Amino acid sequence: MGLTLVSISKLDAAGYAALFHDSCCKIFNAKKKVLGLIPINKGLYTVNAPWKLFAGIASVDQPLTMEEVHAQLGHIAPKSIWQMLKAGTITSIKLDPAHSTMGSCESCKYVKATQKPIGKVRDPPRCAKLGEEVHTDLWGPSPVKKNAQSKYFASFTDDHTHFTNLYLLKKKYQTFNTYQKYEAWIGTQFEMKVKHLHLD
């Protein structure tokens, strides 16, 4: 269940008041008009659905731009704001007809930023033969020891076939000996040599 938090200090600074009495929180404006009643529920003052957004805190006489409404309502989509205004879900807000649309929101763009899409064509192209380029990585130490007290593993991935060999290591210094084993395996099994070794 979502909860709405109300800052008493923010209400006080804005000229509003809150009264806690008879298991209920009443929020008043500067003219002592009740803006909201929040009953206590399991030790917390919670707002339960169905409910309307209390935009009554905003001045009815002063129209707001779409950017202002968008920011004050938590950066919801302008289309949703139009729908809520039309349905009467938001009360006491007057939208400025001259500013009923908005451009891009920098905060929304920042939050929705994603990585560039991965291209379908690889650049640089894949190697043409086995052993032309091998990518290697050393991982560890592992918080949990594996078979025969191994704490590290070294991987060797051929760029042409994408075939990966994985070796478990007890100590980090065994990495070079492991590479020699991999190089011997390539030579024995495929009669190829590693031309280029790519490390992180």
* Distance from C-alpha of 103 to C-alpha of 114, rounded to nearest angstrom: 20
Model pLDDT, residue 186: 93
Percent of the chain past pLDDT 90, that is, above it, reads: 26
Considering all CA atoms of the chain, what is the largest pairwise distance in Å, rounded to the nearest integer?
Answer: 90
| Coil vs helix vs strand at 128 | coil
Edge-to-edge strands of the sheet including 152-158? 164-169, 152-158, 134-139, 197-198
DSSP state of 38: E
* CA-CA-CA-CA torsion sign (11, 43, 38, 52): positive
> Nearest to residue 64, comparing CAs of 102, 108, 107?
102
* Distance from C-alpha of 140 to C-alpha of 169, rounded to nearest angstrom: 9
The pLDDT-based confidence of 1 (bands split at 50, 70, 90) is very low
Taking only the tens place, the pLDDT of each residue in 93-130 is 778 878 778 888 888 877 776 666 677 777 778 889 99
pTM of the model: 0.42
Q: Do 53 and 90 form a contact (C-beta atoms < 8 A)?
A: yes
